[in-house]
Amino acid sequence: MCAYGCYNTGNNLTGYIEIKKEVRDVQKTSGKNKHGMGTVEIVIIIAVLVALALVFRAGLMRYADNVMNFVFDEGRITGAFG
């Protein structure tokens, strides 16, 4: 068997079958190579998010504190019903 695209059998069906076999073989091997790709991508995304959280920790803590104070402010709750 030679490299891709050099099937000179004179019979188009034979050439088609050979190409089909090679495509199937490539698909089998490429499927195995991509198996862990989703896991690696998720780990990289989590690592980037953790790094961003560490860099902007002070700002995020202030923001979360402001949101919690706003949400759980008893003056706003009793003022709405009074």
Position 81 confidence tier, pLDDT thresholds 50, 70, 90 = confident
Query: What are the residues whose beta carbons fall under 8 Å from the beta carbon of 47, sequence distance 6 or more?
Result: none
CB-based contact 15:7 (threshold 8 Å) = yes
Q: How confident is the model at residue 61 (pLDDT cuts 50, 70, 90)?
A: very high
Q: Which two tokens stand for residue 59?
A: 């700002």
Q: When comparing pLDDT for 6 and 42, which is higher?
A: 42
What would the mean pLDDT of 25-45 be, rounded to a whole number? 73
Alpha helices in the chain (DSSP H): 12-33, 37-55, 57-71, 74-81
Q: Which whole number is the average pLDDT over 8-36?
A: 67
Grade residue 54 by pLDDT with cuts at 50, 70 and 90: very high
